[in-house]
Amino acid sequence: MQTLKTGILKALRTVYDPDLKKDLVSLGMIDDLLITNATISFTIILTTPACPLQEFMKQACIQAIRKEIKKELEIIITTIAKVTSSRPPAAILPEVKNIIAIASGKGGVGKSTVATYVALSLANHGARVGLLDADIFGPSIPTIWNCEREKPAVFKQNGKNFIIPLERHNVKLLSIGFVANSQEAIVWRGPMASAALKQLIQDAYWGVLDYLLIDLPPGTSDIHLTLVQTVTVTGAVVVTTPQKIALIDAIKAIAMFKKEQIQVPILGLVENMSYYFSNKEKIGTPHYIFGKEGGKKLAEQQTIPFLGQIPLLPIICEQGDVGISSNKTIAPFDTIAQILAQQIAVRNAIYQPTEIVKKSY
């Protein structure tokens, strides 16, 4: 039996996690190895339930074992996920494993849309997900999630009031739009907006989360600075459309996160509104209304992981307007969510924890 176990572990040491570039045994990803007369069973501990390599790794393990062990035993592999974290023990939001900023520079490129479907997708895979709308002047989350008229509950703990985020389709949601009148304008200077964001972050009861997505406003100003000065941000996703006018602002967003005083790793770039397919054409060819592959090329230039393209789909716009009514995601977003989850795991494994940005900045 002992030699069988040794053999199996030897086999599994030849299986590499393609992202982390180490073998599964050294990474501590193999657990509960059990050998009976007829079966070998073990668990692979993944770094995210949305791991796109799940099936690939299972098959690689089976092949490696079959090669090493000649005995015909049934191999039973279970996968579980323990989402990793690189956030240092933090005073603020310590129970949140990963804080992911969704940014763009330019407005209207699809930050809120990407944040929404990625959140849905991660939750569908079983992750505990929160979505914080940090767009104080143009909050879209209440509309997209069809809870414009909802008010979050409040509870008191140790004399302090906490907001309880709403929950829809297993995603926890918070937005200034839940507390402000949507017909009115919040005409505030920066400090007021920053104070509002801080309250949404500090005074909310999120509980344990694997991923908290932060839907940022356009620009590179108060809200962005307040965010990185208030919590340690695991990484940022940059959303852009293909045209130069949007790319220029995406470059600015990337430059902001890379600034020496800020240093938030960029987890990847999403190209939205990439092309349009007419349903009225016999032979569908893509219409590049906003130009071709601008985002993809930018990701290459800046050596940022490219998370994928999203076509112009009337259904995306429609669902954004009437509000999503189920947890159904849309194909390209699901792939993007998986690659992102993977990139977060890579980031947590290989980069230093992000530090809080100094207030003086």
**Where on the phi/psi map is residue 177: left (φ > 0), alpha (ψ -120 to 50), or beta?**
alpha
Span interacting with a copy of itself, options 44-52, 133-141, 158-166, 325-333, rule CB under 8 A: 133-141
Look at residue 187 and give the partner it binds from Mg ion, a copy of itself, ligand ADP, none, a contact being a CB closer than 5 to 8 Å depending on partner kind.
a copy of itself
**Cβ of residue 189: shortest distance to a copy of itself, in angstroms?**
5
Stretch that binds a copy of itself, among 107-115, 117-125, 149-157, 342-350 (CB under 8 A): 107-115
The answer on whether 358 is annotated among ligand-binding residues is: no
Query: Shortest approach of a copy of itself to residue 242 CB, angstroms?
Result: 9
Under rule CB under 8 A, residue 112 binds a copy of itself: yes
Q: How many residues bind ligand ADP (CB under 6 A)?
A: 20
Q: How far is Cα 82 from Cα 348, in angstroms, rounded to an integer?
A: 12
Between the CA of residue 306 and those of 51, 121, 125, 309, what are the distances in Å? Answer: 16, 18, 21, 9
Closest approach, Cβ 40 to ligand ADP, in A, equals: 46
193 binds, among a copy of itself, ligand ADP, Mg ion, none (CB under 5 to 8 A by kind): a copy of itself
Amino acid at site 240: T
- Closest Cα to residue 171, out of 129, 140, 133, 207? 129
* Amino acid in the structure at residue 221: S
- Which of the stretches 41-49, 51-59, 111-119, 178-186 binds ligand ADP when contact is defined by CB under 6 A? 111-119
- CA dist 112 and 131 (Å) reads 10
Q: Which of 48, 84, 86, 243 binds ligand ADP (CB under 6 A)?
A: 243
> Residue 221 carries which DSSP code?
S
Residue 154 · residue 162 · CB < 8 Å: yes
- Residues from 46 through 105 that contact a copy of itself (CB under 8 A): 105
Stretch binding ligand ADP (CB under 6 A), from 40-48, 162-170, 182-190, 308-316 = 308-316
What is the four-CA torsion angle of 121, 122, 124, 128, rounded to 10 degrees? -150
How many Å apart are CA 239 and CA 331, to the nearest integer? 17
Using Cβ positions, the residue closest to ligand ADP within the complex turns out to be 320
Closest CA to 219 of 247, 193, 252: 252
Name the residue among 228, 216, 227, 235 with its Cα closest to residue 262: 228
Subset of 181-240 contacting a copy of itself (CB under 8 A): 182-191, 193, 217-222, 224-225
Both tokens of 182, joined, read 């949507």
Of 314, 274, 306, 271, nearest to 290 (Cα)? 274
Q: Is 52 in the site for ligand ADP (CB under 6 A)?
A: no
Confirm if 303 and 227 have CB atoms less than 8 A apart. Answer: no
111 is in an annotated binding site: yes
Chain residues 120-179 in contact with Mg ion, contact rule CB under 5 A: 135, 140
Q: Which residues are annotated as a binding site for ATP?
A: 105-112
Q: Which residues are annotated as a binding site?
A: 105-112
Q: Which residues bind a copy of itself (CB under 8 A)?
A: 105-109, 112, 137-138, 140, 143-144, 182-191, 193, 217-222, 224-225, 241, 243-246, 248-249, 251-253, 255-256, 259, 262, 276, 278, 280-281, 285, 287-291, 312, 314, 317-318, 320-322
- What is the contact surface with Mg ion in residues (CB under 5 A)? 111-112, 135, 140
